[in-house]
């Protein structure tokens, strides 16, 4: 008699326990092919359970091919069911993979760049709109959508971008993506092969180095100064797939590309017949003057435009957009479809209302005031603590600035030391393609810090660095 242990207190139904026991024993060879197993009546008596339970278990085993009936003879283990078990216990992972919860200091001041003020995400309005959309959306809204995204959202977005960023596009040029990273991925798939060159600023977001080189493309870095990419250094003897720029607020150094350089850039792209990719990630928060008009508006057929709501609203929403020149639209939509079909519909519906009803602009205006105040406070603290040992750069826009120190190099050890002392700052050097030129600079994000935290953070910096 095969021993089958049943646990009546377990949440698993009894028939399933019987099924699993037999399945395991058949797979591991404890019950051999051709071996007879008890009839349902016999097993029901042996295990003291109702015959129905055994019948149900046997039906499952039969359906899956583990057992077969031979008329008049009984029930037997089927052929070809032995599987040598090789898998190690998955609990090995418990020790190998679960990193100890790092002794995350609860009051570590984290100057992480690119994070908006999370406590000020407009939850209430977002929730109300979400509720209304969920309740009133037609059934079709819960089915498969189109890769480019809702027409209504694209229409409203195109209008909004024209008005606020000087972006010139037809709604059909827009694809609603799950953020800037996906937009960059899509462009990479669209335009780069292993023989491509990509021209880009140096330094520039280090994940982008990786994304662009994934298909084997070659990076052609162009240095950056306080006015962004030094366009007169654009390399003449290349056939680039595209030039990737952050002209509104160079990342990370923060320069704003002036019109002369924008003209040079576009002329360069026309001469080499390549695209420009404009990544416009936080230009809404410009603290001196109105937002700089986009590069895209100067040549909509040549400039691909990437936008995101991660800094304006919340990175957790994962929503952004991509504006493609007309010739790339169909391929772009097709690629988006093959990537993840489309961006979640509900978020698109909420966002449409959020923009349409003016909440977005009000939110941006409100946040701009708050961020300006935080920026000013940070600059003040830095000046108070470091005086002329420090130069502040790239602070005209966005959610971060650069602090350049006269006599300090920010090596990995130095950064670790600072973190041990309760303050986390971010290296510029990690984003550099040509190394060694930015060791004295750090990125300080202030979007998600209160003035109290800013003050504490800078004091901790001073206690180590001075």
What is the token pair recorded at 232?
Answer: 């007169």
From CA 286, how far away is CA 205, in angstroms rounded?
Answer: 20
Contact string (CB under 8 A) for its own copies, positions 292-331, x = contact: xx----xxxxx-----------xxxxxx------x--x--
Span interacting with its own copies, options 290-298, 369-377, 379-387, 427-435, rule CB under 8 A: 290-298
Q: Residues 211, 224, 402, 428: which binds its own copies (CB under 8 A)?
A: 211
Span interacting with its own copies, options 43-51, 82-90, 421-429, 433-441, rule CB under 8 A: 82-90
The SS3 assignment for 134 reads helix
User: Omega before 403 cis (within 30°)?
Assistant: no
DSSP code of residue 139: G
Kindly identify the residues of this chain, within the stretch 20-49, that bind its own copies according to CB under 8 A.
Answer: 20, 23, 27
From CA 308, how far away is CA 311, in angstroms rounded?
Answer: 7
For 298, residues 6+ apart whose C-beta sits below 8 A from its C-beta are 262, 263, 266
Span interacting with its own copies, options 38-46, 342-350, 354-362, 385-393, rule CB under 8 A: 342-350
> Cα-flanking dihedrals φ and ψ of residue 342, to 5°?
-160, 165
Kindly identify the residues of this chain, within the stretch 258-287, that bind its own copies according to CB under 8 A.
Answer: 258-260, 262-264, 266-267, 270
Per rule CB under 8 A, is residue 105 in the interface with its own copies?
Answer: no
For 84, residues 6+ apart whose C-beta sits below 8 A from its C-beta are 29
Q: Are 336 and 411 in contact (CB under 8 A)?
A: no
Q: Residues 70, 90, 407, 413: which binds its own copies (CB under 8 A)?
A: 90
Q: Residues 44, 75, 181, 352: which binds its own copies (CB under 8 A)?
A: 181
Per rule CB under 8 A, is residue 17 in the interface with its own copies?
Answer: no
Burial readout 314-348 (b: 16 or more C-beta within 10 A, e: otherwise): bbebbbbbbbbbeebbeebbebbeeeeebbebebb
Q: Residues 344, 356, 361, 385: which binds its own copies (CB under 8 A)?
A: 344
Contact string (CB under 8 A) for its own copies, positions 50-79, x = contact: ---------xx--xxxx-----------xx
Contact string (CB under 8 A) for its own copies, positions 115-134, x = contact: x--xx-x-x--xx--xx--x
Q: Which is nearer to its own copies, 314 or 427 (CB)?
A: 314
């Amino acid at each position: 008699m095969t021993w089958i242990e049943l646990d009546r207190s377990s949440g698993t139904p009894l028939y399933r326990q019987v099924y699993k026991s037999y399945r395991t024993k058949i797979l591991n060879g404890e019950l051999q092919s051709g071996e007879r197993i008890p009839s349902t009546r016999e097993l029901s008596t042996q295990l003291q359970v109702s015959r129905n339970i055994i019948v149900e278990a046997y039906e499952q085993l039969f359906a899956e091919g583990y057992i077969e009936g031979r008329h008049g003879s009984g029930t037997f283990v089927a052929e070809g069911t032995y599987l040598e078990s090789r898998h190690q216990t998955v609990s090995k992972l418990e020790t190998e993979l679960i990193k100890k919860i790092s002794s995350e200091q609860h009051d570590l001041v984290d100057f992480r760049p690119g994070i908006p003020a999370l406590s000020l995400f407009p939850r209430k309005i977002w929730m109300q709109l979400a509720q209304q959309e969920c309740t009133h959306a037609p059934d079709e809204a819960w089915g498969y959508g189109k890769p480019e995204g809702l027409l209504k959202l694209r229409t409203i977005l195109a209008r909004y971008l024209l008005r606020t960023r000087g972006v010139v596009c037809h709604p059909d040029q827009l694809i609603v993506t799950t953020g800037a990273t996906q937009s960059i991925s899509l462009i990479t798939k669209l335009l780069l092969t292993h023989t491509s060159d990509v021209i880009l600023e140096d330094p520039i977001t280090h994940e982008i180095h990786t994304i662009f080189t994934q298909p084997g493309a070659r990076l052609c870095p162009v240095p950056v100064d306080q006015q962004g990419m030094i366009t007169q250094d654009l390399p003449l003897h290349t056939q680039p797939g595209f030039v990737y720029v952050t002209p509104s607020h160079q990342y990370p150094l923060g320069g704003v590309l002036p019109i002369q350089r924008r003209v040079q850039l576009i002329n360069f792209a026309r001469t080499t017949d390549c695209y420009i990719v404009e990544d416009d990630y936080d230009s809404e928060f410009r603290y001196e003057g109105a937002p700089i008009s986009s590069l895209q508006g100067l040549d909509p057929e040549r400039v691909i435009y990437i936008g995101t709501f991660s800094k304006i609203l919340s990175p957790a929403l994962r929503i952004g957009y991509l504006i493609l020149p007309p010739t790339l639209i169909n391929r772009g939509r097709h690629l988006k479809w093959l990537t993840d079909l489309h961006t979640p519909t509900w978020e698109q519906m909420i966002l449409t209302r959020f923009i349409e009803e003016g909440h977005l602009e009000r939110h941006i205006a409100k946040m701009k005031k708050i961020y300006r105040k935080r920026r000013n406070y940070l600059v003040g603290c830095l000046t108070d603590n470091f005086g002329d040992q420090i130069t502040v750069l790239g602070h005209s826009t966005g959610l971060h600035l650069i602090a350049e120190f006269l006599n300090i190099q920010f090596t990995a050890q130095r950064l670790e030391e600072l973190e041990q002392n309760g303050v986390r700052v971010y290296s510029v050097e990690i984003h550099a393609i040509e190394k060694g030129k930015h060791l004295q600079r750090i990125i300080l994000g202030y979007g998600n810090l209160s003035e109290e935290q800013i003050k504490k953070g800078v004091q901790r910096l001073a206690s180590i660095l001075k």
